[in-house]
Amino acid sequence: MEAGMSAGNIYRYFASKDAIVAGLSARDRADIAQSFSGMGDVDDPFAAMMAVARRYLVDDPREKAIFLIDLWVEATRNEGLAAICRDCEDDIKHQIGLSLTDLVDKGRADPRLDITALVDLLMCLSDGLFARRAREPDFDAAPHMNHLGEILRLACSGQVQSVLRCVGGPLPVAPRELGSAGASTTGTATTANTVHDRVAASPAAEDVT
């Protein structure tokens, strides 16, 4: 083991496996808080946020992703571990939310930005990268950081408001109600029913600098 001791010897210092995970989680939460500290003072907060994301999603060894997936699976059966996972995730969401709020307050993000929805979306995408790294030995997460960065910039510029509004909710019109052109066949008005169409139909946001 990396710690240089046997598994049995570890339990001389920790009462249980849950206690070990709680200790690791506390260390990670402190590390995450440190990573986000001073984020509001950088020249390019978007680049700074993506640098933090890259550290955890790309630069950390694949073994950590495997450990996290194993932990998440175990948390489905162990409420104590589930609570630890929730607390850690809440900390990450809080740190990202603070950074996004700072961008809005400083006029560098659209004031209409749904911060909660964007944070949830970024977390889901990040979890997917963790899962891919754990499952596929040859998976390269690095190229996908560009996708995450672009989503972040577009959201902060107000260009995906309709997408964020529908996160967690159904599409307005079921596929069976759509005509061949993708517009609703009910009524006389033509409406945008796909995510792509809703984004295109949204008014262009003012440039956010």
pLDDT number for residue 166: 61
Tell which residue, 35, 149, 172, has the closest CA to residue 91.
35
The residue ranking higher by pLDDT, 5 or 152, is: 152
Tell which residue, 130, 157, 143, has the closest CA to residue 65.
130
First to last CA, the chain: 48
Q: Are 152 and 49 in contact (CB under 8 A)?
A: yes
| Range from 42-51, 69-78, 113-122, 174-183 carrying the lowest mean pLDDT | 174-183
How many CB atoms are closer than 10 A to CB 34?
9
Q: Measured between alpha carbons, how far is 150 from 167 in angstroms, rounded to an integer? A: 18
Instruction: Work out the mean pLDDT of the chain and round it to a whole number.
Output: 77
- Quick one: angle between helices 79-105 and 45-54, nearest 10? 160
Encode pLDDT of 108-123 as tens digits: 999 999 999 999 999 9
pLDDT number for residue 8: 52
Structure tokens at 156: 């902060």
pLDDT number for residue 196: 38
Q: Are 96 and 122 in contact (CB under 8 A)?
A: yes
Q: Measured between alpha carbons, how far is 138 from 107 in angstroms, rounded to an integer? A: 41
Encode pLDDT of 71-106 as tens digits: 999 999 999 889 999 999 999 999 999 999 999 999
- Extents of the domains making up the chain: 14-169, 171-209
Q: What is the mean pLDDT of residues 166-177?
A: 46
Give the type of residue at 135. R
pLDDT number for residue 82: 93
The CATH H-level superfamily of 14-169 is: Tetracycline Repressor, domain 2 (1.10.357.10)
Encode pLDDT of 21-37 as tens digits: 787 788 888 888 888 88
Label residue 187 by pLDDT band (50, 70, 90). very low
Q: Is the pTM of this model over 0.75?
A: no
Encode pLDDT of 121-156 as tens digits: 999 999 999 999 999 999 999 999 999 999 999 999
